[in-house]
Amino acid sequence: MSLSSFLLRSVWGKTLWDQRRSLLGWMAATAGVTFLIGSMWPSVQAQSDQFQELIETYPPALKALFSINEISTPAGFLQTQLFSATLPVLFLVYAISRGADLLAGEEERGALDVLVAHPLPRGGIVLQKAVALALGALALSVALLVGLAGVNAVYGMGIPFVHLLAAATLLGLLALGFGALALALGAFRGRKGFTAALTTAAAASAFLLATLGKLAEGAEGLRWASPFAHVLEAAPLVNGFSLGGALLLVALPLVLVPLAMWAFERRDLGA
């Protein structure tokens, strides 16, 4: 059986089939960026003392905003260069744009009527869309893991594989969480632009809470409420999995997807 005839059997499969080309592009970009930035390590390592001295002179707000800590070790370097902005932006743009499109975008295109008129429960349609979203995030995480394992091997960085796995998994879960938020907002109100804008605003707020939150005197602990903190601050490439972070990031889609199913069951579809 061909891949297309397998995927065209279900809503989740068809959703992935629709984005087959773009998903390969996102995966290539993820692995490529990872390898490109990772390949700078040898030159940074040669002057790591100077770099570290330079960084020590940065104002605390800047260091906080870009989650800069130590870059004299391979894990610290990759954590700072990849996970403080570049990869989270890449993953979140993918997840939010997909999440906003899966219900709200299809509704605006007039593609949802004919699907919902098939003998499928509405909640099941939402669940299958969420599965497609999760598989897309998983694909990006796999591409990231391949890129990380590649630079780790090529430049003899010696980072434990479980740390690479933790970083790739937690970032994928972070993207899935915000993708699920976009899906849920689209389930409440079928407007793609509104959904994407609100989710992006939520993600930006959570990012600032995680990064600048540690400067808030007396409320430093609050930043751990942000999902970003568990991928940026917690530095999984350096420290591996943290149970609390993993639980929070898993909980997000587990709460948001049933909420989306509930909302989508209840409302009128847009004409």
Q: Site residues (CB under 8 A) for another protein?
A: 4-5, 8-11, 14, 17-18, 21, 106, 109-121, 267-269, 271
CB of 176 to another protein, least distance (A): 24
Please tell me the distance from the alpha carbon of residue 133 to that of residue 127, in angstroms, as a whole number: 10
CB of 113 to another protein, least distance (A): 5
CB of 269 to another protein, least distance (A): 5
The Cα-based distances of 77 to 41, 52, 53, 211 in angstroms read: 8, 10, 14, 17
Cα 69 versus chain centre, distance: 22
Q: Which is nearer to another protein, 120 or 153 (CB)?
A: 120
Q: Residue 267 is encoded by which pair of tokens?
A: 């409302």
The CA-based angle 230-161-224, given to 5 degrees, is 5
Q: Which is nearer to another protein, 4 or 50 (CB)?
A: 4
In 109-191, alpha helices (H): 112-116, 122-154, 161-188
Residues with Cβ < 8 Å from 110, sequence gap 6 or more? none
CB of 190 to another protein, least distance (A): 12
CB of 76 to another protein, least distance (A): 42
Q: Which is nearer to another protein, 106 or 233 (CB)?
A: 106
Q: Which is nearer to another protein, 123 or 258 (CB)?
A: 123
One-letter amino acid at 107 equals E
Q: Which is nearer to another protein, 21 or 59 (CB)?
A: 21
